[in-house]
Structure 1
Amino acid sequence: MITPDALGPYLDPAAIFIVAGGTLAATLLRTPLRDVGRGIAALATLPRRTLDASPLIDQVAALGRIAKRHGVHTLDRSVIADPDVAAAIARIVDGATPADVTRLLDERRRARILRHTGAADMWAGMAEVAPAMGMVGTLIGLVKMFLAMQDPAAIGAGMAVALLATLYGALIANLIAMPIAVRLRRRARAEAEERSRLVAPLAALAEYGQPRGSVVAVAAA
């Protein structure tokens, strides 16, 4: 079991400040603030299950049965939690064609991919910066060590900063930032694939609504 006393030699406040502070500053400078916010918020999604579109497809099928029995216009009273399905149903109720619904879902999926990519890029950028900040800390520690050559008691402090800064940079990059970026990209790809399954049934539902409108128009004429 790892105890605080065992970790003591591997903790150096100066090295932590240089690497963590430098990595954070560089990330904020190179990343738009909206992507920083998305990257932090995306951490809450990591423990969740990847989206499964099957329940949504079943819901669309149920909505199709309602539309067949009572008309497409009755779908505006349906309670739909998923934002993409809700937006598509709203357009279908307004008389959108299958092409309109397909275009809407494609636009929403592309916008979601861009948001997810921005969040993952923030963490990937942090993984790139952290080792460089570790090297900066190493150079600062070496300078501190060389300046203290006349004081053997102070050499150890400079050497600790030099060695531990490199360690911290490697740990932040390979155990924190890069794994998060990889997992976010994997989740984004999986969600995009699942959401692509919604396009066909929603477009079919829109297509089902078109003949009814045409028949009403012909009857009215």
Structure 2
Amino acid sequence: MDISTVIGFVVCIGAVLATILMASGLGAFIDPPSMFTVIFGMVGATFIKWPLETVLSIPTYFLKAIFFSPADPKSTIDEIGNLAETARRESIFALEKVPIDDPFLKKAMTLAADNRPPEVISAILQLEIDAMVERHKMGSDLFAGVAEDGPAFGMIGTLIGLVIMLGNLQDQSAIGPAMAIALLTTFYGSLIANIAGNPVKAKLAFRSKQEATKMSIIIAGTLGIVAGENPRLIKEKLSSFLPPAQREVEDAGE
């Protein structure tokens, strides 16, 4: 689980609720017509933009933003270093028998053990990265749409409320409910965009970059093993993917 995402949701929702409760009461911010306009309008727009199977995958993408293990490039580099030692000590064909948990790394080692040309290995694995990036981009784009449509339908609700209010100026009792629709739809739309839409979009994009970096490390390491490079040299080359601070720690440890 990504604890920072959970903390973020709790802090954002808690801040809004605390402000509402300290200022007045929760009841003043609950308006079913406003909720109906924003939520169903946003859902309808999402169905128009995307095919059904993509829309139904929104909960899956949302859970991926919360329940995922952050990529650890240092451990990947260490594992590749160990695999390089195995290939040097025994043979490159021994890599196919080594137990590997990561499916992408396992595929890379299988290709290396099959004695495929380096350019073929690189091309096959790069296709995997491209496909992964596209899948993650779809999830990111879905939540970007949520971030756009929430405020858009909030504005539509605001206009509806203003029209109702202006059409009933002679009826003082109708002005309050109409004004509530006008303001609360904007509030709901902004809330959805800034607590769910934009943050989840950014989290999915960040995760995609992390995964792509990890997979690029695996490709570079695999090509080094195939070329018969020294395991220490391979790890030194792969450390260029790490932030400078982590590289310094790695060097100091050695």
With the length of structure 2 as denominator, give the TM-score of the two structures: 0.72
Count how many residue pairs are aligned between Structure 1 and Structure 2: 209
Contact residue 168 and residue 175 of structure 2 kept, 8 A? yes
Contact residue 83 and residue 95 of structure 2 kept, 8 A? yes
1:194 and 2:214 matched: yes
Change (3 A) 1:63 1:50: same
Question: Cα deviations across residues 76-126 of structure 1 (Å, max 9, x unaligned)?
Answer: 232222121111122222221222221122111111111111111111111
Give the deviation of 1:74 after TM superposition: 3.0
Listed as ranges, the matches of 1:103-114 within 5 Å are 103-114=123-134
SS of the aligned residue for 1:183 comes to helix
Give the deviation of 1:179 after TM superposition: 1.8
Counterparts of 2:220 and 2:157 in 1: how far apart (Å)? Answer: 55
Question: Cα deviations across residues 143-167 of structure 1 (Å, max 9, x unaligned)?
Answer: 3334444432233212211111111
Change (3 A) 1:3 1:167: closer
Which structure has the bigger radius of gyration? 1
1:136 and 2:136 matched: no
**Alignment match, 2:64:** 45
Give the deviation of 1:30 after TM superposition: 0.8
**Alignment match, 1:203:** 223
1:97 and 2:117 matched: yes
Cα-Cα RMSD? 2.5
1:181 and 2:181 matched: no
| Equivalent position to 1:6, from 25, 28, 48 | 25
Give the deviation of 1:38 after TM superposition: 4.9
Letter in 2 for 1:8: G
With the length of structure 1 as denominator, give the TM-score of the two structures: 0.82
SS of the aligned residue for 1:25 comes to helix
Change (3 A) 1:32 1:78: farther
Whose relative contact order is higher, 1 or 2, with alpha carbons under 8 Å and at least 6 apart? Answer: 1
Listed as ranges, the matches of 1:156-175 within 5 Å are 156-175=176-195
Give the deviation of 1:15 after TM superposition: 0.2
Q: Which is further off, 33-42 or 183-192?
A: 33-42
Give the deviation of 1:33 after TM superposition: 4.1
Contact residue 141 and residue 162 of structure 1 kept, 8 A? yes
